[in-house]
A and B are shown apart, each in its own frame.
Chain A
């Protein structure tokens, strides 16, 4: 079955950087668009970024545009999110998602001094 495993979360100071990864298995990774979606503690879901199957089409939420960069490596079945200039309001669990159905368990990013 499809498995998505996120990694790279942690505690970082405001203004710092983190790189999240999402390793996929159980599907033809290169055939699917992917997204990052986040959920602040006790809050709802917020879409962060989308990348097409070949990486040529990319979208970002206004809240992260210019600070976050999504990318993928189809040879490694992996999705990435480079997060720079992090702010306290970026604190959340970050999920990767393939299509609509498949979600990872999430990785927690905490931005605090």
Chain B
């Protein structure tokens, strides 16, 4: 099974500042036949299901603000929020869908 490890476990960032969350997979999630990384990012707020932010490692889902961006390839990935807004307080998860699914343990993002 592919293990996903996020860092840090929690993060406090000032409003308007950049937030960066990292995700590392135990094996590559890059599929060379279609040149895609099978990596997604989700945002989850209390009492709600997760919301898809990013898929194929760097493609923003429809309606997701452009302050959210994803990068990386192979085994190392990053979610960046360029200018933190109050509404971004949530837990963020990475997920690989290369081989069934596994999720990272989550990163709790708070306002400093």
A-side interface residues toward B, CB under 8 Å?
35, 37, 44-47, 50, 59, 61-62, 95, 100-101, 103-106
Contact = CB atoms under 8 A, between A and B. Distances in A.
Nearest to A37: B101
Contact of A46 (B42, B48, B103): B103
B100 interface: yes
Interface residues of B, number: 21
B100 A50 contact: yes
A106 B49 contact: yes
A61 B103 CA distance: 12
A77 B1 CA distance: 30
Contacts of B103: 44-47
A41 to B, nearest CB: 12
A104 B48 CA distance: 9
Task: Give me the 5 closest cross-chain CB pairs, A-B, nearest first.
Answer: A103-B49, A47-B101, A45-B103, A44-B106, A101-B52
A78 to B, nearest CB: 18
A110 B30 CA distance: 38
